[in-house]
A and B are shown apart, each in its own frame.
Chain A
Amino acid sequence: MDAASFMLADQPLDVAALSGALQGPEVGALAVFEGRVRRTNLGRQVLRLEYEAAPELAEPEFERLANEIRDRFEILDLRCVHRTGSLEIGDCAVWIGVTAAHREPAFDACRMLIDELKHRLPIWKKEHYADGDSGWIGHP
């Protein structure tokens, strides 16, 4: 099995179902990463977040990234779902699941995917703060 998939979702993620779908007789390890909305960022109190994505650019870039990861690590499957729209504190913003025969490549591939995704996929985040201010993250 040699698979990868990426989805954008505008509704809350069912993380149990996402993990449950990653099955197979050769799977010895499942590494999952969930990125969640935190109340504090750089000392400011966050009320909610908005994510926006460019799907027609994100999908091919994810494919390139997934291919790089599969070239480096012995994994079976790699899946990622990223939220768009408005999110509250505690919501899951990004879910990543990687299966492999053994734990090491599963952990390593999961780590590489979240690290690279943050600065490569065309996804934008706007924070809304308790003081009424708001701003797009990563802007100079």
Chain B
Amino acid sequence: MSRRIEVRFFAVLRETAGKRSETLDTDAVTVRALYEELRTQYGFTLPVSSMRVAIHDAVQPWDTPLQDGDVVTFIPPVAGG
């Protein structure tokens, strides 16, 4: 079952994808599977183990099932300050 998802990219992911966000239809069941799909598509080098992920602006486990209409933000390693 395909779900429509909005994805947001920051930092190195934004640069590699060449865009800040996109809306896509995916058969991926979890956010982890969605990232792996996009990783293949764009050639992201960051592994899931080095990142966090947020759904609707709240950090969630990578195995969270995707729901139609989810807004997914991938969070590369942070470095404020």
Which residues of chain A are within 8 angstroms of B81 by Cβ–Cβ distance?
35, 82, 93-94, 114, 117-118, 123
Tell me if B11 and A126 are in contact (CB < 8 A).
yes
Which residues of chain A are within 8 angstroms of B38 by Cβ–Cβ distance?
none
Chain A contact residues: helix, strand, loop or mixed = mixed
Check: A125 CB closer than 8 A to any chain B CB: yes
Check: A13 CB closer than 8 A to any chain B CB: no
Check: A73 CB closer than 8 A to any chain B CB: no
**Chain B: number of interface residues, binned into ranges:** 20 to 34
Tell me if A54 and B73 are in contact (CB < 8 A).
yes
Residue tally, chain A, CB below 8 Å to B: 27
Check: B79 CB closer than 8 A to any chain A CB: yes
Which residues of chain A are within 8 angstroms of B11 by Cβ–Cβ distance?
52, 124, 126, 136
Which residues of chain B are within 8 angstroms of A57 by Cβ–Cβ distance?
54, 57, 59, 73, 75
Check: B1 CB closer than 8 A to any chain A CB: no
Interface residues, chain A, with chain B CB atoms under 8 Å away: 35, 51-54, 56-57, 60, 82, 93-94, 114, 117-126, 136-140
Q: Rank and list the top 5 A-B pairs by shortest CB-CB distance, nearest first.
A: A123-B80, A124-B11, A138-B77, A137-B79, A138-B79
